[in-house]
Chain A
């Protein structure tokens, strides 16, 4: 579990995140959502140590990440995997070399054992046969899957995904969501996902943190989000008429009134 307490960060005297506290549970997909500029990427970068927060505490299980020195943070990061928005694959390396890289750097396994591990994770993300391809030769969805494979190759305890569905078509987005969900439960990882994608929110949002102008505005799960009365959250999540209608339908369905409404419509329409 990751818990954060009163995290604050500003740039040039302008606060970007203010007093955010939350808990991200193990074996669950913890989502951070919010409009562009709401501070969710800065919060995620604070969590992984790419940005040092001005105030607050970050706990990785029982270890206080905020109090660690640079060397301890380096060791801690080996327990962390991260999928970047643009995948961040090394252009000059093949898919196989990209995934092999963390193993070459940190593992003391034999060459054969490393190769077996690479094959296993590539198989896990359904990318058999892509070993020798370069990042420039594969699609956006495949790049994301290679990114996931690279981030889980060292068996991390914590997985961070920064907008895993950005730039992907809806079908591929579902595949990536399903993969992240499966990996999270299969390996019992604490997964933190930063997303804009409403499909992901509804499909895999075990725990959702909604950020608004640098502050935590709402916290709950994908079921609670439907019934939330928070106006800011509702105007963000259900921004389009289509989503508003979908929400109304879902609310009726859950409250058992949908059959009643259907009957009424049938009666009215003769």
Chain B
């Protein structure tokens, strides 16, 4: 029963975000601030994760392809498709659910507990619109870009390690990259990125915004937010793959 109550609260929270802003300029400023916080702030971790995922993909694919009848360029094709289809959008967003999700949840939770949200309400500001909407919009703008960055760096990581270890010369890797390339895969990855961007901001925002209690509850809300976001990302990943592929 509780899950339906929470779902209802979540829908009401989303509905409450859509009102006319009190001051467009302030909302725009907040949106830009969130783009910097969520987008630029996550570039480092996304880059590191992407490079290593690409590198490990090349090594493990090469390890499993010992047959001489399979051309080596197939390794590059597999690395490309796994990075584009799964690793870049899903793993990046699972990592971001931890980084961004806990930040959003604890920030809003702290604002709630220290009455900062009440202070904004007293000023006549729609706090759902001012605090949550810019975060979701910023994620919808920056996370697909981060996923594109992760795709590029993931493939580059695979190519670099192939060359470095001598498993796959870069000429062969480059040839494999363009062979049997399906542009729809990129489109599919971006659909996933937009879906996951919404999940990793809206769910932690819900848990943070409605937190009750003190420091302990803020911590608990952050953990619940991250765990829930990760599970819903994996669920959405399966549903999208089943429907769109």
A residues with CB within 8 A of B: 48-50, 74-78, 80-82, 84-86, 88-91, 101-102, 104-106, 160
Q: Which residue of A lies closest to B27 (CB)?
A: A105
Could you tell me if B121 and A105 are in contact, using CB atoms closer than 8 angstroms? no
A104 and B115 contact, Cβ closer than 8 Å, known pairs A50-B121, A74-B126: no
Could you tell me if A78 and B115 are in contact, using CB atoms closer than 8 angstroms? no
- B122: interface (CB < 8 Å): yes
Q: Could you say which residues of chain A place their CB within 8 Å of the CB of B119? A: 82, 84, 88, 90
* Complex Cα spacing A80 to B126, Å: 15
Q: Could you say which residues of chain A place their CB within 8 Å of the CB of B26? A: 104-105
Residues B40-97 near A (CB distance < 8 A): none
Shortest CB distance A144–B (Å): 13
8 A-B pairs with C-beta separation under 8 A: A76-B124, A78-B123, A86-B115, A88-B116, A90-B119, A101-B123, A105-B125, A106-B23
Shortest CB distance A62–B (Å): 20
Q: Which residue of A lies closest to B113 (CB)?
A: A86
Shortest CB distance A206–B (Å): 23
* Complex Cα spacing A84 to B114, Å: 9
Q: Which residue of A lies closest to B118 (CB)?
A: A50
- B9: interface (CB < 8 Å): no
Q: Could you say which residues of chain B place their CB within 8 Å of the CB of A82? A: 118-119, 122
B residues with CB within 8 A of A: 22-23, 26, 110, 114-116, 118-119, 121-126
Could you tell me if A48 and B114 are in contact, using CB atoms closer than 8 angstroms? no
Shortest CB distance A161–B (Å): 12
Please name the 6 residue pairs, one residue from A and one from B, whose CB atoms are nearest each other, closest first: A77-B124, A88-B119, A88-B115, A74-B124, A82-B122, A84-B115
Q: Which residue of B lies closest to A82 (CB)?
A: B122
A80 and B122 contact, Cβ closer than 8 Å, known pairs A105-B22, A105-B26: yes
Could you tell me if B126 and A50 are in contact, using CB atoms closer than 8 angstroms? no
Out of B114, B116, B118, B123, which one reaches A105, CB within 8 Å?
B123
Out of A74, A81, A84, A104, which one reaches B118, CB within 8 Å?
A84
Out of A81, A85, A102, A160, which one reaches B115, CB within 8 Å?
A85
- A84-B115, A84-B118, A86-B115 given. 13 additional CB < 8 A pairs? A50-B122, A74-B126, A77-B123, A85-B115, A88-B119, A89-B116, A101-B123, A102-B123, A104-B23, A105-B23, A105-B123, A106-B22, A106-B123
Q: Could you say which residues of chain B place their CB within 8 Å of the CB of A90? A: 116, 119
Shortest CB distance B110–A (Å): 8
Could you tell me if A48 and B116 are in contact, using CB atoms closer than 8 angstroms? no
Could you tell me if A75 and B124 are in contact, using CB atoms closer than 8 angstroms? yes
Q: Could you say which residues of chain A place their CB within 8 Å of the CB of B122? A: 48, 50, 77, 80-82, 160
Q: Which residue of B lies closest to A104 (CB)?
A: B26
Q: Could you say which residues of chain B place their CB within 8 Å of the CB of A160? A: 122
Q: Which residue of B lies closest to A73 (CB)?
A: B124
Shortest CB distance A162–B (Å): 8
* Complex Cα spacing A90 to B108, Å: 12
Shortest CB distance A108–B (Å): 10
Could you tell me if A88 and B114 are in contact, using CB atoms closer than 8 angstroms? yes
Q: Could you say which residues of chain A place their CB within 8 Å of the CB of B121? A: 49-50, 77
Q: Could you say which residues of chain B place their CB within 8 Å of the CB of A49? A: 121
Q: Which residue of A lies closest to B123 (CB)?
A: A102
* Complex Cα spacing A138 to B157, Å: 48
* Complex Cα spacing A105 to B29, Å: 11
